Structure formats: structure tokens, C-alpha cells
């Protein structure tokens, strides 16, 4: 089932979702602005359908710990927005509650039979490197891009350019040597996965746009690695699906 | 349906009840003429109201029947030279009742009370009853078939014309809450209004009532069509009996032409503005206006439509007029949403309703200005249920 309503903060999420075949690009709404703006846009869009048509909605949010955001704060904001929507439309909001997934603590979900609603919230909590100040979907992309299989595939593509660097060497270059060089020359550490993604793309002499890099990474990564890295997102999508679980 | 606002858009699939809702509002708004309903068996009488002429002087029931090309059946016997009707249909809840009524304010056609088929009942301080609240509520419950109280502010409208009811079931009743416009300030505008002419009586009334009426028409018409040069608007009889008034556009540098010579779009704009300008001048807080408009998008190029709706918004600004529109046009919805965004219409003054009709049950979902903005910016279509993939992809400009 393709998820009909998806709310994200950036373009990279759209690419990931399409590559995972979870939604169509037309269903993905990117809303710049703060948490309140995204939640308001969600209930403005979903409200008229409440009680009229089944609602299946995925929200993908970043976690800006540096900016004071918490998982609980994000969860609570979405829950409150859903309650407002229920109240406005004449439904009881008493049982509206986002419950944590039993396997992925960065995924929480709500469902009701009448009105027919399922909402899943995926919060990017993974930090690819410990010193990052926020967690975004780029952390997951970076994780995937630094997997042995993905790097091997990147390098295989560049053999025609006579690259003879090894997989482990390249990984080490990106993760340690180049950042260390920058620091030795007085340039502070890169603080977000997005910056590392741009650096990595530049090293590979690729388009440095994070969404484009995400698309290339997904194309080169092994299926097993993709499923492992994006397991929480896939779990959120599975919750929204009305199809029976087969694996 | 509730949450009606100043600007109300009814959208939805074909045969979802949009026109029926408009007609129900129109019949409620034009039930202004004093009437009394009497139970022949118990000799109990109740004050109420029945249909009176609308803004244009049309009999509402004749107007509705004409829209559907229905004949007026014989539902009741007229007694006492048309001043009293008696129900003869044994299936109607009012079969044991008579209705008597005051004469119609402006009789355009003879025997128009033979198509009397609406009665409005509301709570009254009727001194002929010890407990008027209970008495009127009992009658209302008998008609409506459910436990209701008129003291809660409801007005009960009862229509006993089977051809206007769902699958010809004998009668229909509906409740309206809030302040209704008087019938003389209520207008139903549809394609027949565009193709026809206003009555000469209406023209004479407006010339004597609305200062600068024809100049205002010219000004607003010019805004919609960006016409260069100056022109006047005049009205002349269109027929030998001088019953109908036809608008003329008289430019400064050319001969005058009838507005009907200008094409369907222009005459639709002209007639809508003519009537709305009149209504905007007549409406007062204690006698507001009700403009019911079917498909304003008919005959209109998107540019003209946008300017027309902007003029409508301007004419209604700060005026006690309520507008109900039935539309199939995404552009109408988008234009009103844009007018809110531009600050020309207050956000709280706009509401859209998507209707659905299944097995005679009406359902509706409301869209306030924020909902409409979200939907239109995301390329979603408020007019349809379910996942509909329109050939063109659209999005409201952010």
C-alpha cells in the first residue's frame, strides 16, 4: 500500500520514501517551518477527511537536540495536534494517544477504527557520529553510504576512472582522515550528517546535493543494508499498511 | 449542516444534494408571509409563515418548479378566493389542517397561490395557548417526526410538494437555525436568471431605492472586464407588455447595445452584479440579504471569473449579506481561498462543504480557509471523495 499522506521536513525524505516504494512523490508534503507549522498543516489537510475516508498518514521528523527538541516533545506535539483535529471534527479525543513501537523507540503510532485513522510518527534519532548536534534522515543515508557493500559499489562505478583506492581506505578517509585534516588546520568539526554527506559526495566527485546523494546511495546499497538501516521507517510504514504482515 | 459563514461554497459529486440544499435555504429565506395553520378536528390554530416574493418579485415555489420543469399538481383545494387552502392528500401529516394566509406582496402572475407548498413554523408567544412552547413544539414534532424544540431557536420548514422530495416521498421538513433574510432580500441566481431579464417592477423599485444604481453597475462591470472608455448602463423594456427590463451598455463613443448582445459571459456578469449591487444597498442589519448562486463559473474565462469574484467580495464587504454558492469549479474555490489570503475576505468568513448523498442520506465535510489552503497547495481536490487523479495537476501558488 502506498501511503497517501506523508509529512516531512526535507527533500531527502521524499527520495528515501520513493526509493523504498512507500509512497508516490505527489503524496509527500514538505513543510518548512517549525513543529507547530508542520503539525498544523497536517491537521488542516487531514481534518476534512476525518470520519469520511480512511486516513493513513506518516510523519517524519528530525530531532534537533541542540535546539532543545526531545522525542517526547515531538511526540506530544503531534498527539496534541491530532486531539485538536478530533475535537474540531466532533470526535472524542480521549483515546488519541501515540504509542511507542515495541521494537523501535523512535517510532510511535495511533490508530482508531471509527473514525478510520492510522498515524505513524518516525523521529530520526540515530546519529551517525557521536558529536553531531542533530539527527536527521541524512544520518541514516550516511550510515548506509559508509557500509562496505555501498562503498564497494561506488568504487566499482569509478573503476573506469582508474581509481584504485580500497573500500576500507575510502571509508577511513571520509570518516576520519579528512575531518582530522580540517581540524588540524583550525576548521571546526562538521556538526551534521548533511555536511558529511556533502563532503563524501565531493570526494566521490558526485552531485553534492543531499537528496541526490541519497538517491545514488540507495541505488548502490545492498537490499539487506537498506532494510537494516531503515528498519524503523519500514516498521512505521508496515503499521500504516492494511496488508497482513508476511515477514 | 452547520458552521455556515458569510461565504459558503457547496461542492461535491453530481447528484450529491448541492442544489437541493440551496433550494431548501431559498424556500426557508422566502417564507415571510403571515399564515395560520388550523387543525380542523381540534380547532387549534398556530401562527406561521408561507412563501412570499423574492428580491426579483418571483414566487419562490413557481421559481423552483420552473427550474425542474415540473407542473404544479393539485395538492389542496383553494377556498375563499385563494385566502385559504385545505389539504386533500391523505398521506400528508397536515391532512387535517387548513392554512390561511395574507395576500402576496406583489402579484406578478394570477393564481400563484395555487402553488403554495411551504409553511414555516417557529416558536411564538401565542397568547391563545396556556403553554405556547409546548403547543408549538407538539405541532413541530408531528410534522418533523422527531423530538425537537422550536425554543432552541429552530425554524421548521415544511414542504408538501412530493415532486421536490427524495424519490417523490410525500413531503419534506427541515430545520434552520439563525437569522433568515427577509424574502424581499433573498435571491436565487441560476442560469435562467442569466438568460432571462429582471422584471420591470424590480427595475422601477431599484431606480427609486438605490442611489446611483446604474452608475454602480457600470463601475463594477468595467472592473471585471477592464473596459476602456466611459459608458452608461440603462434598462429598457424587452417586450411589448413591458414586463421585463433589459440592460443596455451605452459607450461614450459608440451606439448602445443590449447586454445580451455581448455574449454569455458578459451578460452573466452584468446580471449577477446588477442584482448583488441592489442587494448590497438594500440589506441592513435588521433585514440582511441572502444571495444563493448556482455555478458562478458558468460561461466565464478564468481571468473574468477571478475579477468577478473579487468584485463580489468587495460588494459584500461589511454588508450584512450571506452568500451560498454551488460550484463544480476548482477555480471558484481557489479564488475565494486567494481572496482570504489577500485579506479581501476574512478567514473566518469562508467555509466550503463537500457533500455526499447515499440512499437519501446527506453527508457533509467542512473546509475552513486553512483547510482549503492546505488542500489546494498540496494539489488535493476538495470537490471529490477518494483518490481521484485529475488529468491536470494543480497547486495553489504559495
pLDDT digits (tens, 9 = 90+) for B155-164: 999 998 888 8
Residue A177: pLDDT over 90: no
What's chain A's Rg over C-alpha atoms? Answer: 20
Residue of B nearest to A54 (CA): B386
Partner-chain residue, chosen from A44, A45, A52, that has the shortest CB–CB distance to B365: A52
Which segment of A48-52, A214-218, B93-97, B297-301 scores lowest on mean pLDDT? B93-97
The pLDDT confidence band at residue B226, using thresholds 50, 70 and 90, is confident
ipTM of model over 0.95: no
Stronger pLDDT, B106 or A152, i.e. the higher one: A152
Closest CA of chain A from B47, distance in Å: 36
Could you say which residues from 355 to 394 on chain B have a Cβ atom under 8 Å away from some Cβ of chain A?
A: 356, 363, 365-367, 370-371, 373-375, 378-380, 382, 385-387, 393
Over residues B349-361, mean pLDDT: 94
Binary contact (A48, B382; C-beta < 8 A):
yes
Partner-chain residue, chosen from B375, B387, B393, that has the shortest CB–CB distance to A45: B375
Which range, A35-39, A96-100, B62-66, has the best average confidence (pLDDT)? Answer: A96-100
Closest CA of chain A from B335, distance in Å: 19
The reported pLDDT for the residue numbered B112 is: 62
Partner-chain residue, chosen from A29, A49, A53, that has the shortest CB–CB distance to B378: A29
| Per-chain mean pLDDT for chain B | 90
The reported pLDDT for the residue numbered B81 is: 59
How many whole angstroms separate alpha carbon B363 and alpha carbon B350? 19
Over residues A141-145, mean pLDDT: 95
Binary contact (B374, A45; C-beta < 8 A):
yes
Residue A126: pLDDT over 90: yes
Contact by Cβ (8 Å): B353, B8: yes
Closest CA of chain B from A219, distance in Å: 28
Chain A partners within 8 Å of B379 (Cβ): 26
Contact by Cβ (8 Å): B9, B327: yes
Mutation target among B333, B347, B374, B381 for the A interface, most CBs of A within 10 A: B374
DSSP strand E in chain A: where? 5-8, 28-30, 55-62, 99-100, 107-112, 117-124
Per residue in B14-58, pLDDT tens? 999 999 999 999 999 999 999 999 988 888 999 999 999 999 999
Per residue in A181-232, pLDDT tens? 888 999 888 889 999 999 899 888 888 899 999 999 999 999 999 999 999 9
Residue B293: pLDDT over 50: yes
User: Strand, coil or helix: what is B26?
Assistant: helix
Per residue in B295-333, pLDDT tens? 999 999 999 999 999 999 999 999 999 999 999 999 999
The reported pLDDT for the residue numbered A178 is: 85
The reported pLDDT for the residue numbered A247 is: 44
Residue of B nearest to A44 (CA): B371
Residue A176: pLDDT over 70: yes
| Percentage, residues of chain B above pLDDT 90 | 66
Measured from the Cβ of residue B394, the count of other Cβ atoms closer than 10 Å reads 12
Chain B partners within 8 Å of A6 (Cβ): none
The reported pLDDT for the residue numbered A245 is: 46
Chain B partners within 8 Å of A53 (Cβ): 385-386
- All three cell numbers of B376, joined, read 489546494
Closest CA to B392 of B383, B379, B382: B379
Beta bridge mates, A108: A100, A121
> Which residues does B224 contact at the CB level (< 8 Å), separation at least 6?
B269, B273, B304, B307, B308, B311
Over residues A148-155, mean pLDDT: 93
Partner-chain residue, chosen from B371, B378, B386, that has the shortest CB–CB distance to A53: B386
Binary contact (B371, A40; C-beta < 8 A):
no
Mutation target among B1, B341, B380 for the A interface, most CBs of A within 10 A: B380
The reported pLDDT for the residue numbered B113 is: 65
Burial B178-208 (b: 16+ CB within 10 A, else e): eebbbbbbbbbbbeebbeebbbbbbbebbee
The reported pLDDT for the residue numbered A182 is: 86
- A90 conformational bin, left if phi > 0, alpha if psi -120 to 50, beta if neither: left
Binary contact (B385, A52; C-beta < 8 A):
yes
Binary contact (A44, B386; C-beta < 8 A):
no
Which segment of A191-205, B187-201, B339-353 scores lowest on mean pLDDT? A191-205
The reported pLDDT for the residue numbered B218 is: 94
The pLDDT confidence band at residue B228, using thresholds 50, 70 and 90, is confident
Per residue in B248-283, pLDDT tens? 999 998 899 999 999 999 999 999 999 999 999 999
In order of A59, A98, A118, A247, B271, the CA distances from A115 in angstroms are 19, 16, 10, 28, 45
Residue B188: pLDDT over 90: yes
The reported pLDDT for the residue numbered B48 is: 94
Residue B110: pLDDT over 60: no
The reported pLDDT for the residue numbered B106 is: 56
Amino acid at each position: 500500500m502506498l501511503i497517501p499522506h506523508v509529512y516531512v521536513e526535507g527533500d531527502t525524505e521524499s527520495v528515501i520514501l520513493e526509493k523504498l516504494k512507500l509512497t508516490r512523490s505527489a503524496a509527500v508534503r514538505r513543510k518548512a517551518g517549525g513543529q507547530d507549522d508542520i503539525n498544523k498543516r497536517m491537521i488542516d489537510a487531514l481534518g476534512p477527511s476525518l470520519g469520511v475516508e480512511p486516513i493513513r498518514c506518516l510523519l517524519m521528523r528530525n530531532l534537533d537536540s541542540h535546539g532543545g527538541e526531545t522525542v517526547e516533545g515531538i511526540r506530544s506535539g503531534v498527539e496534541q495536534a491530532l486531539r485538536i483535529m478530533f475535537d474540531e471534527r466532533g470526535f472524542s479525543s480521549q483515546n488519541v494517544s501515540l504509542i511507542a513501537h515495541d521494537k523501535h523507540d523512535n517510532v510511535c503510532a495511533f490508530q482508531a477504527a471509527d473514525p478510520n485513522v492510522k498515524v505513524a510518527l518516525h523521529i530520526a534519532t540515530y546519529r551517525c557520529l557521536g558529536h553531531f548536534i542533530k539527527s536527521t534522515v541524512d544520518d541514516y543515508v550516511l550510515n548506509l553510504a559508509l557500509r562496505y557493500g555501498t562503498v564497494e559499489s561506488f568504487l566499482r562505478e569509478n573503476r573506469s576512472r582508474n581509481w584504485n583506492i580500497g573500500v576500507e581506505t575510502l571509508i577511513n578517509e571520509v570518516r576520519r582522515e579528512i575531518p582530522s585534516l580540517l581540524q588540524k588546520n583550525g576548521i571546526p568539526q562538521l556538526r551534521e550528517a548533511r555536511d558529511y554527506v556533502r563532503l563524501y559526495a565531493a570526494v566521490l566527485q558526485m552531485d553534492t546535493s543531499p537528496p541526490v546523494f541519497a538517491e545514488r546511495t540507495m541505488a548502490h546499497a545492498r537490499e539487506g543494508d537498506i532494510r537494516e538501516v531503515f528498519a524503523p521507517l519500514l516498521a512505521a510504514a508496515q503499521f500504516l499498511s492494511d496488508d497482513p504482515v508476511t515477514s | 449542516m452547520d458552521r455556515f459563514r458569510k461565504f459558503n461554497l457547496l461542492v461535491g459529486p453530481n447528484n450529491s444534494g448541492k442544489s437541493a440544499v440551496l433550494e431548501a435555504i431559498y424556500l426557508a429565506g422566502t417564507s415571510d408571509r403571515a399564515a395560520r395553520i388550523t387543525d380542523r378536528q381540534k380547532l387549534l390554530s398556530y401562527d406561521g409563515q408561507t412563501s412570499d416574493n423574492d428580491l426579483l418579485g418571483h414566487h419562490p415555489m413557481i421559481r423552483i418548479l420552473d427550474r425542474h420543469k415540473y407542473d404544479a399538481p393539485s395538492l389542496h383545494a383553494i377556498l375563499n378566493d385563494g385566502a385559504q387552502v385545505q389539504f386533500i392528500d391523505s398521506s400528508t401529516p397536515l391532512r387535517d389542517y387548513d392554512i390561511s394566509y395574507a395576500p402576496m406582496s406583489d402579484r406578478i402572475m394570477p393564481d400563484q397561490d395555487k402553488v403554495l407548498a411551504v409553511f414555516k413554523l417557529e416558536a411564538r408567544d401565542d397568547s391563545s395557548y396556556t403553554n405556547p412552547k409546548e403547543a408549538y413544539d407538539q405541532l413541530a414534532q408531528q410534522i418533523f417526526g422527531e423530538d425537537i424544540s422550536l425554543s432552541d431557536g429552530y425554524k421548521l420548514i415544511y414542504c408538501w410538494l412530493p415532486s421536490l422530495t427524495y424519490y417523490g416521498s410525500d413531503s419534506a421538513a427541515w430545520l434552520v437555525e439563525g437569522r433568515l433574510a427577509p424574502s424581499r432580500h433573498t435571491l436565487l441566481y441560476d442560469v435562467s436568471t442569466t438568460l432571462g431579464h429582471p422584471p420591470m417592477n424590480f427595475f422601477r423599485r431599484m431606480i427609486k431605492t438605490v442611489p446611483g444604481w446604474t452608475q454602480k453597475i457600470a463601475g463594477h462591470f468595467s472592473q471585471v472586464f477592464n473596459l476602456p472608455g466611459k459608458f452608461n448602463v440603462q434598462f429598457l423594456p424587452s417586450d411589448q407588455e413591458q414586463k421585463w427590463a433589459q440592460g443596455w451598455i451605452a459607450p461614450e463613443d459608440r451606439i448602445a447595445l443590449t447586454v445580451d448582445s455581448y455574449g454569455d459571459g458578459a451578460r452573466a456578469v452584468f446580471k449577477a452584479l446588477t442584482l448583488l449591487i441592489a442587494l448590497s444597498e438594500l440589506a441592513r442589519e435588521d433585514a440582511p440579504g441572502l444571495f444563493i448562486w448556482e455555478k458562478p463559473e458558468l460561461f466565464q474565462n478564468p481571468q473574468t471569473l477571478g475579477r468577478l469574484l473579487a468584485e463580489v467580495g468587495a460588494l459584500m464587504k461589511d454588508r450584512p449579506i450571506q452568500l451560498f454558492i454551488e460550484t463544480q469549479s476548482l477555480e471558484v474555490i481557489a479564488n475565494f481561498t486567494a481572496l482570504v489570503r489577500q485579506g479581501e475576505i476574512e478567514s473566518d468568513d469562508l467555509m466550503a462543504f463537500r457533500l455526499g448523498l447515499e440512499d437519501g442520506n446527506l453527508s457533509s465535510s467542512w473546509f475552513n480557509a486553512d483547510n482549503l489552503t492546505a488542500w489546494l497547495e498540496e494539489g488535493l481536490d476538495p470537490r471529490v471523495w477518494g483518490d481521484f487523479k485529475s488529468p491536470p495537476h494543480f497547486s495553489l501558488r504559495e
